[in-house]
Amino acid sequence: MKEVLGSVVVILLVAGLCFLADYNETSKKKTKEIIMDKWGIWKEQMMWRKFLTADNPVLKAMMTLPPGQGISALQQYCSLVHMIVVYLGFGVEQIPVRTVADELRRNIAEEQGSRTNGIPHREILGRLFREEFKAETFAPWSLTTRRFHMALFSKFQHEQNPRFIAGMIYALEATACAELQVVAEIINCFAGYTAIDLKSSAEPTTLSGFFAMHINDFEVGHESKLREALEDYISEDWRMFTEGFSFVLDHMESWWDGLASEVYQNL
């Protein structure tokens, strides 16, 4: 009788362990599915922000102005083209995941010219802009630009939670395609003609090509490769990631509102 009881206990124990292991696997799978849904939700929420759409306040202002006005807004936006490698560098240092750091390093190298004959993207943009409009893309930061970069810089410097930092970096990359499409429209308003045709060949030898290459290639890779690298890491605490993501979107939104006010102030 004792032996039978012993066997029953062993069988129950094994069954219990199998159930727990299975439960663990299922719950892991479920968390992954939730996170996968989350990427879609984050993207959708991102596109509710007016500054990433045709309702961008600077674009709306430019549409009411004659060509040749509003260069300051473009110059201020280009500060982000300069600063992006600095922010990605914070990510490399502060996110303790090898695959993420590797992807951010690859991204930085690309910005520094790894696929454009060693010429950094900011330099290409500056040269093409000068050639097309006889104007400089980079300028001292305005008050609203200073507020934007100081807010990001100080958060990168002092934030202790690396998943919050991951959310910030992801926001910078996830917004890039939509934001560049808006900037292309702003440039067309400034030019008074279709200076940027996004259907043009994706070679960064013209301003059109530079934007097309970013929207169809560079930025698509930055977002998707970063998402893949982050997937497992943020599934352990996606709330902090969401907070970092929203933090950047909120500051970008205020920045674009401020830039629109400055367009009118500078007339």
The residues of the shown chain that bind Fe ion, judged by CB under 5 A, are 111, 121, 173, 176, 219, 222
For 11-79, give the DSSP string. HHHHHHHHHHHHHHHHHHHHHHHHHHHHHHHHHHHHTTSGGGSTT-HHHHHHHTS-TT--HHHHHHHHH
Q: How many CB atoms lie within 10 A of CB 250?
A: 13
Nearer to Fe ion, 222 or 251 (CB): 222
Query: Shortest gap between Cβ of 115 and Fe ion (angstroms)?
Result: 10
Whichever of 173 and 179 has its CB closer to Fe ion, that residue is: 173
Structure tokens at 236: 């352990």
Among 1, 136, 165, residue whose Cα is nearest residue 74: 136
Shortest gap between Cβ of 264 and Fe ion (angstroms)?
29
Q: For residues 182 and 260, which CB has a smaller minimum distance to Fe ion in the complex?
A: 182
- Interatomic CA distance for residues 137 and 134, integer angstroms: 10
Which amino acid makes up residue 252? M
With tokens 């996004």, the residue in question is 198
| 20 versus 86: smaller Cβ distance to Fe ion | 86
- What is the nearest approach in angstroms of Fe ion to the Cβ of residue 59? 21
Q: What's the closest the beta carbon of residue 172 comes to Fe ion, in angstroms?
A: 7
Residue 25 beta carbon to Fe ion: minimum distance, rounded to whole angstroms: 35
Residue with smaller CB distance to Fe ion, 69 or 75: 75
Q: How far is the CB of 27 from Fe ion (least distance, A)?
A: 34
Nearer to Fe ion, 106 or 146 (CB): 106
Going by the DSSP 8-state scheme, the letter that residue 159 receives in this structure is -
Residue 140: is it exposed, middle or buried by C-beta count within 10 angstroms (0-12/13-18/19+)?
A: exposed
